[in-house]
Amino acid sequence: MEEFIASTLRSSVPLALAGVGALFAVRAGIFHLGIEGLMLASAFTAVGVAHSTESIILAVLAALVVSAVLSTIYWFLLDHLHADAIIVGLGLTTLSVGGTAFFLDVIFGQRGRLDSPVGLPRPIRGADDGAASLVSELSILGWLTPLLVLASFMLLRRTAFGLRITAVGTYSYGARAAGIRESRVRLAAMLCTSVGSALAGVELALGGLSTFSEGITGGRGFIALAAALFGQLHPLATAAAAVFFGAANAIGVVTQVNSIDFVPRPFILMIPFIITIAAVTVSAIVRTQAQQRRMERLDAHEP
Amino acid sequence: MNQHLARLITRLAPVVIAFALAFVLFAATGFSAGSVASGIVEGVFTGRGATTNTIRWSIPLILIGLGIAVSLRAGEFNIGAQGQFLVGSLAAIWVALKWDLPKPWLIFFAIVLAVVAGALWSAIAGVLKVYLGADEVITTLMLNFVAIQLVQWVATGPLRDPFSSGDAASTERLDPSMRVQGSGEYSLELILLTIAVIVAAWSLLERSRLGIAVQLIGANPKAAAWQGLSIRGTQLHTYLIAGGLAGLTGATEVFGPAGRVVTGSTPALGFTALVVATVGSLAVVGTVAAGLFFGGLQAAILYLPIVSDLPPSGLRIIEGLVALLITAQLATALRRRRSTQSPLPDKALNGNQPIEEGIQHVLSRRSRDETG
Amino acid sequence: MLGVEDAVGGLPRTAAVRCSGVTVDFGSVLAVDDVNLTLPVGGIHALVGQNGAGKTTLARAIAGLQQHTSGTVQVNGVEVPPGANLVARRSGVDMVHQHPSLIPELTVAEALELGSPSPRRGPFLRGAIERRWSEFLESRGVDVDVRRRVKELSVELVQSVEIARANPGRGGLLLLDEPTAVLAPSRVEALFEQLRAMVATEVTILIVLHKLSEVRNIADTVTVLREGRLVLSPTPAAATTDAEVGAHIVGEDLADPSPRSRLRVVGSDDEVAIAASGIDAQAVAGESPLNNLSLDVARGEIVGVAGVEGNGQRTLVETLVGLRLPMSGAIRFLGVDCTTKSVEGRRAIGVRSVPFDRNAEGTAAELPLWQNVLGWEAQRFRRWDRLPFLSAAAMRRRATERLQRFHVAYADIDQPVASLSGGNTQRLILARELPDARALVVAQPTRGLDISGITGVWQALAELAASGVPILVVSSDLDELLEHSDRVDVIRGGTIVASHPRPFYRSAIGYDMVGAVGP
């Protein structure tokens, strides 16, 4: 059980960071399929810089910068060249897959993986007993995640900036009527997404084994997006969804170690995806019905 | 004719730019652009087994890409080809390993079952979208992950290859006598099958009722409704077609070059095929051409290490850049910059139809400008 | 360019609005044409006119939201610089648009905070903005829970919040663009109460209205625009009759301007070819639902449906075409009961339609001409009768034939429809819909077309009618209906309130259109 909780916490940190980041873009109306790519590029950058400078701070900063630059390119393609958000997102992911492997080889002469001499600090380290052992594996970013989620909530729901993002994504006419410059707001939202993705990538690479390996993200970027959607684009609910997906992943990890035979492991790992499909469907049905009710209510006013 | 030429040029410009950027990168990182280029040419055309490899990788991309093109033409953003492909592969390998039939019948049933499996897998998302309104991008994406886990299960459980090693689990290999193509050789059957599918896809899109319906609905669903088309039925058909073709590809891989199903299935064919269909402007001829192009690139990726010290991932960068740029409207952007400067176009507040939207709608709202 | 300086300097503050020579030129259309208008401080002033008369544009110019081409606009003695104020609210003037601008996804408090001229920088406390806006709305007499999301509120509540927000305060000017259009008739009075309360605080209100009954109910003066020109300067509402105002709205009272000089081809048994009886149907958004609507069109007859926009025209056409099914009543085409038939089922017996919007509904912009002119009928051109293959040659041949027959000007049958002019696009739609039509429903056939385009469309319709096809034309352009119809039905509140035979009397029709009573 302890093992399961510890594993859940570890797996949900990157999902929560990337998921909460993702909801900024999606709220601004951009269906962001490039999270995976941003995470991968950030993870690589962080390890690369850490490998060269042995400075964890520089590593994090570099990851943030790379992620922001890629996001700005994404934004430019969408807003100025009217490209398709989905294709560009997938392209960004492909580019990162190729780019990280390429630079890994070209700069570091490595194939497959690169180790970092430093990792993210772990505030409570090496505790073996009781409650502390659950969190002893947690990196500083893991500790900061709840704060970041809370900050995202404040940013989205308690500042004019956050309200603008929602306005731009949901009701363009109203946003323009309020004098909002939509393009800028979209850029800002995508930069928020880039921060979440970058931190998620850093956590993946430097939070545990301090290593970058090709394809280290393993689809987590897509799952993070699913968490944001599952969480109805609300930061706290998204974080909860991330924990849920993390728990599902942890079951996989734990069952792998202590083999459980009554249900094959892959079926357990499918659960979050199936639940996401169900959630999307249910919310679609609810939406249609609400619309119908609204029409009927409007009708009822007529004599 | 002039117009076709202009369209061709606008289509090719992003590809050219992508190559240019990549080669600048290669040159900047100390590789000889010339040798990389000649390496690519060798890998695609002239090297030993190059054409075989190009065709080997083009076939699945074309087959899957054509299905995606049909789907995208109808305005349905079905990005679940990878999952449909995997499910089709599983159906095929199951028949191949477990059924006891003469080879021709075995292949026949395997293909039929693979097509049906792929189509049904796709239809899950189709029904949820068309009748219940569930966003197909999310559902197809999620179904991909479910399919990957299914493969994981099959490859580690029921059909496990007891001798497989390393990270990737694999199903048992098909007996070589059952396959139509070993590695490194041509398969006339697969080439003929692909040509047949190309012709069928062309007839379907350009010369059939369904094709006309798909085009009208994709181009303007409202106008299609005014003219009496059944929108839902047509959309559902496109899911079946896309899934069926992806499933078929699963069968061709199993009986052809792959001979088994591997977890973490090597290159993500489904995603590359999405790029193939888009690069090909969702037209049959364009998709075939783009399929050959990306098939060649894949062949070159595998060949390059032999002749050049450029890491093969470098070519993956080209793929990514093409996808990144392919939908960008480079020409219109230049024109637009000159014409409008006002932050608030006059019509904005005069607006005729501000559609009431909500978070829920954002989830399903995507730009589909370039899918036509 | 801006000229007319002598009218400006040092005038006493006697007028809330003073327009002199205001013109707004949209290039192809002169939306507002040399308007001189003075409104006194205080009171409620109605601005009325047909669709496209320039009411909204004039109001926007006064609010400073629309750049005027020439002339000067003064509000409370201060000149409004042309187009200087595209977005921000100015003190003392505000406008409530037809469409709500509050963000549906936010709570009322958040939406108001976002739209306020001075939204807070940095984080705010939810309670603080809720208190702020709750007090604000309370002070302006609107009772609403500011914690609720905008999308959960009724249309009328959203509107009253918007009006309260726009309230410019003592001595200011508020412009309202057709606020009653989105309201159920029973809710209009509540809106008017809110406006009267504002007038009591010395706010001047300029309100764009459609119904004369509402003008009479709320307005102190009435002003009429027609085709961008001022045809009735502000006149005390009490000093006019509905008939007078109606006549100004629709134009001179000419008896039968140009008699439609052709014989009606009436079927041997004088059969009713299009018949709708007692139709009730759910409304298309922003319209009246259909309410026991009945109409009929005989063979070879052109019946025009006139009405102020939003009275159920779109709902009517979509119901006739089969895009929506009526809740009760019956629809018959050519003697066949079509009440529950699909669009395709109706087309099978020869019902054809020309949709409202030729770009959004009539054609697919990127598809080539030949595909558009054939549309879904392309499915009929088989190469071999028993095989499902279509023949490209046959399709193209037929497409060319049709394009030429309807005089569509084009270079290449493969060019996209997007490259055609509006007139040619409309002709292309006619070329698709008319040849096989046995009954025709037409919506807005000439909107936005130039004179030659308009002539061409009506010529084609007249020829079709001459061959015995019944035609129903819904249009917001009364002039063309009067010129070309055999009969004009007036739709109001989702029902046909009157049917006028030739000779037509504009004022009578105009009166029916704006009517004294709601549905």
- Measured between CB atoms, does B68 come within 8 Å of chain A? no
Q: State the pLDDT at residue C491.
A: 92
Strand partners, C328: C280
At A212, list the tokens: 């970058």
Contact criterion met (CB below 8 Å) for C165 and C112: yes
CB nearest to B146's CB, from A80, A274, A281: A274
Instruction: Tell me which residues of chain B, numbers 69 to 88, contact chain A at a CB-CB cutoff of 8 Å.
Output: 77, 79
Set of chain C residues whose Cβ sits within 8 Å of the Cβ of B215: 364, 367, 371
Set of chain C residues whose Cβ sits within 8 Å of the Cβ of B223: 355, 360-364, 375
Task: Compare all CA atoms of chain C with the CA of B224 and give the residue at the minimum distance.
Answer: C376
Per-residue pLDDT band at B166 (split at 50, 70, 90): low
Strand ranges of the sheet holding C351-354, from the earlier edge strand across to the other edge: C351-354, C439-443, C471-474, C302-306, C487-492, C495-501
Q: Distance, in angstroms, between A130 CA and closest chain B CA? A: 34
User: Which amino acid does the sequence have at B231?
Assistant: I
Do strands C471-474 and C302-306 pair parallel, antiparallel, or not at all (unpaired)? parallel
At B357, list the tokens: 């939207």
Cα separation, B83 vs B144, in Å, equals 4
Per-residue pLDDT band at B312 (split at 50, 70, 90): confident
Strand partners, C358: none
> Residue A37 pLDDT more than 60?
yes
- Measured between CB atoms, does A184 come within 8 Å of chain C? no
Give the residue with greater pLDDT, C225 vs B329: C225
Instruction: Tell me which residues of chain C, numbers 22 to 81, contact chain B at a CB-CB cutoff of 8 Å.
Output: 56-57, 60, 65-67
Q: State the pLDDT at residue B334.
A: 42
Q: What whole-number percentage of chain B has pLDDT above 70?
A: 83
Task: Compare all CA atoms of chain B with the CA of A184 and give the residue at the minimum distance.
Answer: B343
> Residue A243 pLDDT more than 90?
yes
Strand partners, C175: C95, C206
ipTM: 0.86
Answer left, alpha or beta for residue B231, where phi above 0 means left and psi between -120 and 50 means alpha: alpha
> Residue B193 pLDDT more than 90?
yes
At B364, list the tokens: 């399903």
Task: Compare all CA atoms of chain C with the CA of B223 and give the residue at the minimum distance.
Answer: C361
- Measured between CB atoms, does B360 come within 8 Å of chain A? yes
For chain B, the structural domain boundaries read 18-25+32-341
Query: How many CB atoms within 10 Å of residue A28?
Result: 26
Q: Residue range C34-50: average pLDDT?
A: 90
Q: State the pLDDT at residue B339.
A: 32
Question: How many CB contacts within 8 angstroms connect chain A with chain B?
Answer: 211
Per-residue pLDDT band at B370 (split at 50, 70, 90): very low
At A101, list the tokens: 């492997």
Q: State the pLDDT at residue C286.
A: 67
Q: Distance, in angstroms, between B187 CA and closest chain C CA? A: 30
Strand partners, C500: C488
Cα separation, C192 vs C194, in Å, equals 5
With b meaning 16 or more CB within 10 Å and e meaning fewer, what string describes B337-351?
A: eeeeeeebeeebbbb
Backbone angles phi, psi at B117, to 5 degrees: -60, -45
SS3 A17: helix
Q: Distance, in angstroms, between A296 CA and closest chain C CA? A: 8
> Residue B68 pLDDT more than 90?
yes
CA angle, B12 as apex, B8 and B17 as ends, to 5°? Answer: 155
Find all residues with CB under 8 Å of B336, minimum gap 6, and list them.
Answer: none
Full DSSP string of A146-193: HHHHHHHHHHHHSSHHHHHHHHHHH-HHHHHHTT--HHHHHHHHHHHH
Per-residue pLDDT band at C496 (split at 50, 70, 90): very high
Q: State the pLDDT at residue B309.
A: 81
Give the residue with greater pLDDT, B196 vs B97: B196
- Measured between CB atoms, does B227 come within 8 Å of chain A? no
Per-residue pLDDT band at C11 (split at 50, 70, 90): very low
Q: Which of C101, C376, C389, C428 to mutate to test the interface with B (most CBs of B within 10 A)?
A: C376
- Measured between CB atoms, does A164 come within 8 Å of chain C? yes
Strand ranges of the sheet holding C78-79, from the earlier edge strand across to the other edge: C30-40, C15-25, C70-75, C78-79
Q: State the pLDDT at residue B368.
A: 34
Q: Distance, in angstroms, between B94 CA and closest chain C CA? A: 35
Q: State the pLDDT at residue C212.
A: 79
Per-residue pLDDT band at A20 (split at 50, 70, 90): very high
At C311, list the tokens: 């009275």
Query: Chain-centre distance of CA C50, in angstroms?
Result: 9
Contact criterion met (CB below 8 Å) for B56 and B257: yes
Lowest mean pLDDT among B348-362, C90-104, C417-431: B348-362
Give the residue with greater pLDDT, A74 vs B328: A74
Q: Distance, in angstroms, between A248 CA and closest chain B CA? A: 13
Helices B103-132, B231-255: axis angle to 10 degrees equals 150
At A243, list the tokens: 């924990």
Whole-number average pLDDT of chain A: 87
Give the residue with greater pLDDT, C448 vs C395: C395
Q: State the pLDDT at residue C44.
A: 94
Contact between chains at C322 and B220 (C-beta distance less than 8 A): no
Query: How many CB atoms within 10 Å of residue A107?
Result: 14
Answer left, alpha or beta for residue C43, where phi above 0 means left and psi between -120 and 50 means alpha: left
Domains of chain A and CATH, by start = 2-301 (1.10.3470)
Find all residues with CB under 8 Å of C55, minimum gap 6, and list them.
Answer: C47, C48, C49, C177, C208, C225
Using CA atoms, how far residue A5 sits from A136, A138, A223, A224, A271, in Å, is 12, 12, 20, 19, 18
Instruction: Tell me which residues of chain A, numbers 252 to 291, contact chain B at a CB-CB cutoff of 8 Å.
Output: 264-267, 269-270, 273-274, 276-277, 280-281, 283-285, 287-288
At C330, list the tokens: 């019956």
Task: Compare all CA atoms of chain C with the CA of A290 and give the residue at the minimum distance.
Answer: C152
Set of chain C residues whose Cβ sits within 8 Å of the Cβ of B219: 364-367
Q: Which of A87, A166, A220 to mutate to test the interface with B (most CBs of B within 10 A)?
A: A87
Instruction: Tell me which residue has tokens 């990306």.
Output: B294
Q: Which of C32, C89, C99, C110 to mutate to test the interface with B (most CBs of B within 10 A)?
A: C99
- Measured between CB atoms, does A157 come within 8 Å of chain B? no
HSE-up of residue C416 (Cα within 13 Å, Cβ side): 12
Whole-number average pLDDT of chain C: 83
> Residue A58 pLDDT more than 80?
yes
- Measured between CB atoms, does B177 come within 8 Å of chain A? no
At A127, list the tokens: 């505790």
Q: Residue range C269-295: average pLDDT?
A: 83
HSE-up of residue B141 (Cα within 13 Å, Cβ side): 24
Instruction: Tell me which residue has tokens 């750049």.
Output: C67
Q: Which chains touch C (3 or more CB pairs under 8 A)?
A: A, B
Set of chain B residues whose Cβ sits within 8 Å of the Cβ of A85: 366-367
Q: Which DSSP helix (H) or strand (E) runs through B324?
A: helix B313-326
Set of chain B residues whose Cβ sits within 8 Å of the Cβ of C321: 226
pLDDT digits (tens, 9 = 90+) for A135-190: 778 899 999 999 999 999 999 988 989 999 999 988 888 888 888 889 999 999 99
Q: State the pLDDT at residue B70.
A: 94
CATH number given to B18-25+32-341: 1.10.3470
